Amino acid sequence: MAEAVFKKMIVEEELDSKVKVDSAGLGNWHAGEKPHKGTQKILDTYKVPHDWIRSRQITSKDFKEFDFIVAMDEDNVSGLSKFGAVDKKQVFRLLDLVEKSKVKNVPDPYYTDGFEEVYDLVFEGCRILLDVVKAKLEESKI
> What is the set of domains in the chain, with CATH numbers?
2-135 (3.40.50.2300)
Instruction: Please state, as a whole number, how many other Cβ atoms lie within 10 Å of the Cβ of residue 107.
Output: 14
Choice between 5 and 139, residue whose per-residue pLDDT is larger: 5
pTM for this predicted structure = 0.93
- The whole-angstrom separation of Cα 95 and Cα 91 is 12
Average pLDDT, the chain: 94
Question: What tens digit of pLDDT does each residue of 81-138 get?
Answer: 888 778 889 999 999 999 999 999 999 998 889 999 999 999 999 999 999 999 999 9
State the pLDDT at residue 142: 54
First to last CA, the chain: 33
**Percent of the chain residues topping a pLDDT of 70:** 99
Question: Residue range 3-31: average pLDDT?
Answer: 94
Distance of CA 88 to the CA centre of its chain: 16
Span 11-19, mean pLDDT? 96
C-alpha 60 chain-centroid distance:
17
